[in-house]
Every structure is written in structure tokens, then in C-alpha cells.
Structure 1
Amino acid sequence: MAESIWISLVSNLVRRISRHYVAACAGTIAAIGMVFAGAFAAAASPLYCVLVPHFKDEYWLSVGFGLEQEAERQGVDLLFFEAGGYEARAAQVGQLDACVAQGADAILIGAVTSDHPDLMTAIARVAETVPVFGLVNELHAEALSGRIGVDWQDMGHAIGAHLRQLHPEGSPAKSAVFLTGPAESGWTGPLAAGLRDGLAGSSVSILEVFEADTGIRPQLALAELALERHPDVDYLIGSAPAIEAAIGLLAARRDADRPTLLATYVSHTVIRSLMNGSVLAASFDDPILQAQMAIRQVAAVRAAPDQRLAPEVVLLTREDDDLGAVRISPADYFPAVQ
């Protein structure tokens, strides 16, 4: 019965992602991982090369959907590469050179690391001939022609400040565990710093931080480990895949003392769970809008390297009555893989 509950709570899209990556393990992800139809068409349209860490969770699917939408409006062709995960630094370095070889007019990079010398050197080399723009993830490369993405410290702060409101200093002590991405990624450090800053002055303490790639399976393993080590924890704060995993795991628990869930970004499952009360709150940075802003920024070619374009971070809660209007990629959206 527990397994059937788990399957019913995982979106069809999540299952498709899982099947895709199981199959991909037998092939190659390090080369061109994803190409949208028509990207190789011999047209006069500008060609933008897009590098992402992976499409293992719905966040990057929303980014891809927004890029595709805006590129069509702007008359731009897109060529997508995925590294395969946040440990695939060498793959992303090679993909930068592949973009140049394909004649890209600009490169948008969702970096797998914010400051590793290998990636910084590659960006500096490529930027001599093709403008490079940072996409979503923090990237400390001086050669960038622009940046698009929220400050992930704000994403963490929104969650922490919400808990501080609920549990101000002097109220009964509460505990939390934090499930997040790998340390080498550019967003996890700011996210954690923002969360702790938001919790300052509250009665909530973080018992342990768990880190892994943001694919479904690694985050499921984190959720299992966190709940095993801290069965009586009050709050579980985590990435969207971690929250999806926790929902399924907790559905099989019969005890009434389950941790309350908060997500550091959204997915279809997180939004549905906000609506039904399974998730208390989630940070939202509108990845579709960020993607659209990215295409516009490159098309305009007018942003200074130190300028960050980004929408406002907002906190979604289960009390919100307009959760159905939150924009993420359609539930049936998944790009074709070549």
C-alpha cells in the first residue's frame, strides 16, 4: 500500500524524467545532450547556445520552456546542451567549445560551478569570440557580457523569515533539517546563508544539512537519510525533488508527528501540495520569466557585466488563493532528446 501511495503522489512528469535519465546512463550525456528541433536549420536567425546543469528536475524544464517561448517570439534558434549533473564540470567546459564550433552568436550558461578555475578559464577563452551570459546560477566570471538570475540568498531568506514569524525568539524551540544541492553548485551557498539569516532571531535551529545533486534519486536518498536520523524533526526544508520524495515517504508513516515541509523552489508537485496543504510554503523566483529576460537581454546586447537582471523573489504559502496562476512549464512539457 505504501508504494502505491508514493506512486500516486509523484507527477507523471517526474516519472518521465526518471525514465529518461535511467536510459541516458547507458548512452552519453557528456556530448550534445539535448537539441531542440530546428536548432540546426540553416537559417539566418541568430543562434543562441544554452548550457544547463541537467533536466533532472522541473526547475530547469521551466527555464527551458521560457527560453523556447521567448526565442520563438524573438526569431532566435536555440541549441541546448546539458552537462548531466553538478559534478560534470569537464562536460560543460567541452560544451562551451562545442557552441563555438557550431557558430553560436551567444552563449547562455547555467553553470555547474560558480568559480572553479577550469570553467572560469574556458569562459574567458570562449568570450573572446562569443558573448557569454550567466543564466540563473551564480557565476563569478569576469568575462560575462551579462547575468540573468535572482540572488539565491533571497530564496533562502524568504523561507527563514517565514519560520521566524511563526516561531520568534523566546517561543518553544523548533528543529529543522535542510536538504539541498551539492556544495560545488553556485546557488547552494547563498541559499543556505539566506536561510540562516532569515532564521536569525527565531526559535528554529537547523540540526543537519544534507547535500546531493538535485536529481530525483539523490534527493530521495537524502530525504530517507534525514528522516531516519531525525524522525522527530519539526520542519524539513528542501529542494523541490527532496520535498516530492518526503511527501511520498511521509505518506507511508502512520504516526501523527510528521515534519512540516517547506520548498526552496517550486515544481508541479510542490504547487499541488501547497494547494492541498501538504507543503507549508515555497520560494518562487519565476524561472520562466528569468528565461524570457535572458533571451531579451542577449537580443538587446546592452547589459553591463555587473548588471543582474531578475524578477522579484516571492514566498508562496498554502493560504494563497491564486496558486493556480503560478507559471511553470506545462505538465506534459519535455524537450526532445537526440
Structure 2
Amino acid sequence: MFCTFLLLVMAAAPLRAADWFPYPVLADGQAASYQPLAAASKPWRICALLPHGMDRYWWGVAWGLNEEARRQGVQLGIYEAGGYQYPDMQWAQLTRCIQLGADAYVIAAINTNRLCDDIGLLHKAGVPVIDLVNRIECAGVTARSRVDFATMAKVALAYIVRHSQGRAIRVGWLPGPRDAGWVADGERGLREALQGSAVTLVPGGYGPVDRSSQALLVRDLLTREPDLDYLLGNAEAAAFAAQLVNSNRSRYHAQVLSFYATERVLKAIEDGLILAAPTDSPVIQARVAIDLAVRALESKSLPGLVSPQIEMLDRQSLERFDISRLMPPGGHWMIRQELPE
């Protein structure tokens, strides 16, 4: 199994930057084939703010941002705040980019409204701000490149219901940091999907999406609720829970799912440790965000919201999945770089 996964990773390596488009998306709710600009008209300076660089999800986002910036010929700064517990650091990094006079901003926000005052000022100054992945609820956002995590959670729960053949089940839930927009969206989606179902949701608490924090939450949840049928969580929670459950099958029998995919989650699916996960194609979201920023800077038409199509990945569908949508080629790690002056 591991050899198969390595082949998937290596297959992503030789792709050229231009090979990602045209790409099937929903643009303002309508099915479309996304075609980015061939190149920017000048080397615009774009500041990208990410919540952290601790897992492969955000490595893929950073790589997608950098590749599309390089393809279009724009300059890019990439900053990560160190974790969802550091909203003030993200604000400080935004302040730094404002001081550097960035032409546009791509922001994967730590929470939905911490940066609203500054985004409002940027909007008044005619500076584009692109909402990437996490959801910003601020006036003045120019366009959005993200998937609704409510839909991600609904897709994951629908898979669980099909897998359980509709019987009454108890599902543990470990979403991630309390104030993140994508967590709030995921919980909204679950509330809607649970209506009329035979599923009982068992909350496991909130916490940063680092391994140690999520390990504590997983252990606590399974200690309190050893008879869960399924556990659905963020990627770090799912990865740790899969190891714990599969090493203690005499005590736990929960099937584990992640409600988004990372390289580690895909490896665990390949190995049969995690049942499934939906993917929001974060590399594609990042590439689209750069293109939206350039379109806005050059006063070209652009949609308000672009969303890659969500796909549920399990051992069967993983064989057909283009892994370059999710993560960088082998040998690429988190990209952090100062915006050129």
C-alpha cells in the first residue's frame, strides 16, 4: 500500500504549473470551467496570510499560491501566524504587508472578523482582498476562493450514513478551533444534515489543529465514549484517532473519518486506517485566489465566489484522484517568504 501511495505522490512531481487549468468549479453557484489569465500585465506585489504551516494542507496552499504567482509573473509574500491561537500575529503580519505597500491581499483568516477594520480601510483605498479557504465575514472582501465547509461536513456525514446502512449510530465530533470560520461552517452543515437522521452527534471539544492538542481531545473523547460507532474530525484529530483506535480494537470499534483531506489522511485511507475524507482541493483554491487578485488589480471581470467541486475520497476513489490538487510534489515543504520591497 505504501508503494502505491508513493507512486501517487511522485506522479504529482513533473506537472507543469500551467497544467492545472481549465478546471471544473462552481463560480457564483454555477458549474464552470475556470480559466486563469495567461499572465499579469505587471509584477504586482501580493501579500498572502495563512493561519499556520504545521500540516500538509497549508503546505499545499502555500505551494499553490507560489506556483500561480510565478506562472503569472507577480511577486508574493507568504506569512503564516503559527496557529489558530495567534490571531494577533496574523493581524501584525497584515500590518506588516500594509507598511510594505502590497497591491493586493490573499487572506486565509484565523477567525471571521478579527481583520475587518483593516480590510475595510483597504477596500476604501481600492486595494483588493481575496478570501481564501477559511471564510472572512467582513465588508470590503473583493472575491472568495473557498469551499463551503458546511457542504464538506454534509458530504462526510452522508458517507457515514450510507456506510452504516441507515442504522442508529453515535458519531464523535472533533472539529478544530472554536473561532475559525470553517469550523463554524462545518458545524452548521452537520446541524442541518442531522435533522431527521438516526445519527447522534457526540461533541469532543475544540482546540488548535496541532497534533498534541488534538491527541488530548481524542483521548478524552474516547475515554468518555469508548463505544462510538464513528469519529469525524479535523485532519490531525482523525490521524491520531486512527492510530489509537486501530491499536486498541479490543477497546474501541469506531470507524474514523476526516472532514477534509491532507497527505497524512490520504496515506491513512490507503492503509485502511481512516475510512474516508472529502477534499476541497486546497492547491486549486490557492491558485484561483492569486488569479482573482490579479483580475481585480487589472479591472478584469471576476466571479464573487469560486469553489472547486468537492470529492469524497476512500480507498476506491483514491486510485483515480489527482493528488496535485491537494499537496505539493515530493521534496516541497512549507513556503514562507517576505514580500519583496
**TM-score interval w.r.t. the shorter chain?**
0.7 to 0.9
Quick check: 1:240 aligned with 2:235?
yes
| Equivalent position SS for 2:275 | strand
Counterpart of 2:75 (choices 77, 80, 87) is: 77
Cα gap change, 1:143/1:336 in structure 2, threshold over 3 Å: closer, same or farther? closer
Cα gap change, 1:154/1:336 in structure 2, threshold over 3 Å: closer, same or farther? closer
**Contact 2:295/2:302 (8 A) holds in 1:** no
**How far apart in 2 are the matches of 1:294 and 1:178?**
30
Aligned to 1:86: 84
The Cα of 1:246 is off from its aligned counterpart by: 1.3
Aligned to 1:14: none
Aligned to 2:275: 280
Counterpart of 1:222 (choices 217, 224, 233) is: 217
1:261-319 CA distance string (max 9 Å, x none)? 11111111211122222211101010000011111111111588981111111111222
Aligned to 1:182: 177
Counterpart of 1:152 (choices 149, 154, 171) is: 149
Aligned to 1:54: 52
**How far apart in 1 are the matches of 2:204 and 2:251?**
24
**How far apart in 1 are the matches of 2:198 and 2:52?**
37
**2:237 alignment partner AA:** A
Q: Which runs of 4+ in 1 moved over 4 A?
A: 302-306
**2:108 alignment partner AA:** G
Q: Structure 1 length normalisation: TM-score?
A: 0.80
**2:117 alignment partner AA:** T
Higher mean alpha-carbon deviation, 305-314 vs 223-232, is at: 305-314
| Equivalent position SS for 2:317 | coil
Cα gap change, 1:333/1:318 in structure 2, threshold over 3 Å: closer, same or farther? same
**Contact 1:284/1:313 (8 A) holds in 2:** yes
**How far apart in 1 are the matches of 2:214 and 2:330?**
21
Q: Structure 2: 5+ residue runs without aligned partners?
A: 1-41
Cα gap change, 1:108/1:277 in structure 2, threshold over 3 Å: closer, same or farther? same
Aligned to 1:329: 328
Cα gap change, 1:283/1:262 in structure 2, threshold over 3 Å: closer, same or farther? same
**How far apart in 2 are the matches of 1:304 and 1:325?**
29
Aligned to 2:6: none
Aligned to 1:261: 256
The Cα of 1:209 is off from its aligned counterpart by: 3.4
**How far apart in 2 are the matches of 1:208 and 1:145?**
35
For 1:1-338, list aligned pairs within 5 A.
45-116=43-114, 119-129=115-125, 130-167=127-164, 171=167, 173-255=168-250, 257-301=252-296, 307-320=304-317, 322=319, 325-327=322-324, 328-335=327-334
Cα gap change, 1:223/1:45 in structure 2, threshold over 3 Å: closer, same or farther? same
**How far apart in 2 are the matches of 1:260 and 1:168?**
14
**Contact 2:243/2:273 (8 A) holds in 1:** no
Q: Structure 2 length normalisation: TM-score?
A: 0.79
Q: Whose relative contact order is higher, 1 or 2, with alpha carbons under 8 Å and at least 6 apart?
A: 2
Cα gap change, 1:150/1:333 in structure 2, threshold over 3 Å: closer, same or farther? same
**1:146 alignment partner AA:** A
Percent sequence identity is 31
**How far apart in 2 are the matches of 1:222 and 1:256?**
17
**How far apart in 1 are the matches of 2:318 and 2:176?**
30
**Contact 1:96/1:123 (8 A) holds in 2:** no
